[in-house]
Amino acid sequence: MTSAADRLASVQSDIRAAEAEFGRKEESVTLIAVSKTFEADDIRPVLDAGQKVFGENRVQEAMGKWPGLRGDYAGIELHLIGPLQSNKAKEAVQTFDVIHTVDRPKIARALKSEMDRQDRQLPCFIQVNTGEEPQKAGIPPREVDAFISQCRDEIGLSIIGLMCIPPVDEAPGEHFALLEKIADRNGLAQLSMGMSADYPVAVGFGATHVRVGSAIFGARDYT
């Protein structure tokens, strides 16, 4: 049986291979190891293998695991990749280092006022609902340019890039290409896209951050 540390090494080598294949600069893609649903003891071997950048999708769950792990391992960078309620903004700003899921003015304002209060300005990505799926979070593509300006100029968030989760039943490439196009015309350098099933494809479309969970930690058990 392969271990999480073995799978981490193989994901990392896939990323380096995709960088080479698509003419991307070496180590221009950051691997976010998505540890949602896994316990601290499942995460430790991946930390021991040297991984520092992790993603979680729930504020409450992250608060239960990461303060302890941060005490044992230096230099951890924790990314919030799941939907955020404005009443959790305080805990989100305390717990995370980067936010990927800014998608409406209310959340942008709540985050900014918490960042000011805690004197902790976190870099943020705006989530774009590239497939315009009604059940999915993210700002629709036609509203994104105005929302980026609002977040930057009016609200004062530090917006570093865009994030998307393509529809499960579609080829992801056109969604990645759309995200890259929107980022480009808005002068945003970072693209958070690509998961276990498609991260090498995402590297080809310019991903700077891939969010990989099950390919490292194994299948998730939600029961």
Ligand X SMILES: *Cc1c(COP(=O)(O)O)cnc(C)c1O
Q: Nearest to ligand X by Cβ — which residue?
A: 213
Per CB under 6 A, 206 contacts ligand X? no
| Residue 89 CB-density burial (10 A; 0-12 exposed, 13-18 middle, 19+ buried) | buried
CB 89 → ligand X: shortest distance, Å?
Answer: 18
Per CB under 6 A, 138 contacts ligand X? no
Task: Please say whether the beta carbons of 87 and 122 come within 8 A.
Answer: no
Per CB under 6 A, 195 contacts ligand X? yes
Give the binding range for ligand X (CB under 6 A) out of 46-54, 103-111, 116-124, 208-216.
Answer: 208-216
CB 181 → ligand X: shortest distance, Å?
Answer: 21
- What six digits make up the tokens of 198? 């498609």
Site for ligand X in 67-96 (CB under 6 A): 81-82
DSSP per-residue codes, 169-214: TS-THHHHHHHHHHHHHTT--EEE---TTTHHHHHHTT-SEEEE-H
- Interface pick for ligand X out of 29, 31, 34, 203 (rule CB under 6 A): 34
Per CB under 6 A, 15 contacts ligand X? no
Taking the C-alpha atoms of residue 30 and residue 145, their distance in angstroms, rounded to an integer, is 25
Find all residues with CB under 8 Å of 48, minimum gap 6, and list them.
Answer: 5
Per CB under 6 A, 7 contacts ligand X? no
- Interface pick for ligand X out of 57, 129, 130, 190 (rule CB under 6 A): 57
CA 167 to chain centre: 17
Q: Which is nearer to ligand X, 138 or 141 (CB)?
A: 138
Q: Which is nearer to ligand X, 147 or 217 (CB)?
A: 217
Q: Residue 67: helix, strand or coil by DSSP?
A: helix
- What six digits make up the tokens of 34? 């998505």
- Interface pick for ligand X out of 137, 152, 196, 218 (rule CB under 6 A): 196
Site residues for ligand X per CB under 6 A = 34, 36, 57, 81-82, 165, 195-197, 211-215
